[in-house]
Amino acid sequence: MSDLKGKIAWVTGAGSGMGEASALALAAAGAEVVLTGRRQNLLESVAQRIRAAGGKAHVQAGDITDAGRVEEIARWIAGALKRIDILFANAGANIPDRQWTRLKPQGVDEVVSANLNSAFYCISAVLPAMRAQKDGVIIVTASIAGRIISNLAGTAYTAAKHGVVALCHTVNREECIHNIRCTALLPGEVATPILDKRPVPVTAEDRAKMVQSEDIADLVRYIAGLPPRVVLNEVWVTPTWNRAYVADLGLKP
């Protein structure tokens, strides 16, 4: 496991799923972790687990679709902890009414704000500190929906995640001179609570075959620990039993 001692990591969507697992993995590797999400109680629970294992964790709850609150948290980190080495901008959301026939403007706003705007806000907030220290790793949860257009993810989510992938590449184009690296993380189906928003329920059997939050956490920890000369611009990670591929073979997913 890479040694992240002395590093400050900020994880959004840290109360559950991939964010929770990644916060635990980063802390286990030695990073001091700042946990952000809307639900204070879940964040406190994750922080307690980190501290019980001998790690350091801070809770900074907030809605990352609120640009002002994002800036406040980033300023707190830079002021209290003196640096920001790692950002895992993981928070995101989807809605059940996701196809054109059912999608409403308020649904578009909700999905684009949660997935694309929030990534803009978080990255913009950490760049000044990372530029000043001439170092930084940014990992953003996109999705294979950011590269593959399908009906499953829905219109707004697909468009937003395409934007997230493009956003990550622009960071590398402009900020490489400051030794800042950005990875677009493109998971396929991961067994997280976001599956509960699917129009068609996902069975426990299918969830067990999917990528798990701990798998993503291992990858996030690995990316965070890479030498500064290396950037993983974009990473796909999907289940071996890929339900889309299985369906294409004419079999039951």
pLDDT of residue 160: 97
Return the structure tokens found at 118.
């929030």
pLDDT of residue 168: 98
Helix ranges restricted to H, 15-147: 17-28, 40-52, 67-80, 105-112, 118-133
Active site residues per annotation? 157
- Tokens 């426990």 belong to which residue? 204
pLDDT of residue 253: 62
* pTM for this predicted structure: 0.93
Each residue's pLDDT expressed in tens, for the chain with a length of 253 residues: 458 999 999 999 999 999 999 999 999 999 999 999 999 999 999 999 999 999 999 999 999 999 999 999 999 999 999 999 999 999 889 998 889 999 999 999 999 999 999 999 999 999 999 999 999 999 999 999 999 998 888 999 999 999 999 999 999 999 999 999 999 999 998 987 767 766 677 788 888 989 999 999 999 999 999 999 999 999 999 999 888 888 888 877 6
* Domain architecture of the chain: domains with CATH: 8-248 (3.40.50.720)
Which residues are CB-contacts of 222 (< 8 A; sequence separation ≥ 6)? Answer: 2
Partnered with residue 18 across adjacent β-strands are none
